[in-house]
Amino acid sequence: MESKTTRLTTTSYAVMSLLQLLGEATPYDLKQALDRSIQNFWPVPHTTFYDEPARLAKAGYLSQSQESGGRRRKRYALTDTGRQALHDWADSPVTAPSQFRDEGMLKVLAGADPRKVYAGRGDWHRGKLAELEGYLENLRAAQKVKPMDRWRGAEATLVAGINYHQQMIESIERFIERPA
């Protein structure tokens, strides 16, 4: 165990956050959960993400077990050390500034016609909005059956994502409707 020398990154905290919600998971389970949640507001390179559980287990932040039969998949769960590290990080008010990366904006800066660049983007945002609204509806329905405090953060990030996509749709529609 080498937790004192292992540097924790935002990818580390993403993995630990998902395990806090899921309890125990395989790397594949984590990847599926990442795609439906964190990836909507914090892109994580998949190769880095797949390697992270083993690195965190080696450092003592996660426990690792292997299924005895079948595909013999590895399963990971938070240890007390991992839970404490995640708690300390989440409780810290210090965060890096937000980043807005939009290739469409870069193209507009380079001289592209914004109406052409954003013509289809509204459809993408509408699709993401519907996806997130569906996740939120499912989460709230599950909470009615079995309320669990640990899902409050997931609900808050879904609401923020829904607001973001609504604002982007409105901005794009206003921009496209402007006279040339």
Question: Tens-of-pLDDT digits for all 180 residues of the chain?
Answer: 444 578 999 999 999 999 998 999 999 999 998 888 888 788 888 888 889 999 999 999 999 998 888 888 899 999 999 999 999 999 999 988 887 778 888 888 898 888 888 888 889 999 999 999 998 998 889 888 887 777 788 888 899 999 999 999 998 888 777 776
Q: Where are the domains of the chain?
A: 10-91, 103-177
Query: How many CB atoms neighbour CB 177 within 10 A?
Result: 8
- The CATH class that applies to domain 10-91 reads mainly alpha
Q: Which of 129, 125, 105 is nearest to 117 (CA)?
A: 105
| pLDDT at residue 7, rounded to an integer | 93
| pLDDT at residue 4, rounded to an integer | 57
| pLDDT at residue 2, rounded to an integer | 45
CA distance 138 to 151: 12
Beta pairing partners, 25: 76
CA distance 81 to 8: 12
| pLDDT at residue 180, rounded to an integer | 64
| pLDDT at residue 3, rounded to an integer | 45
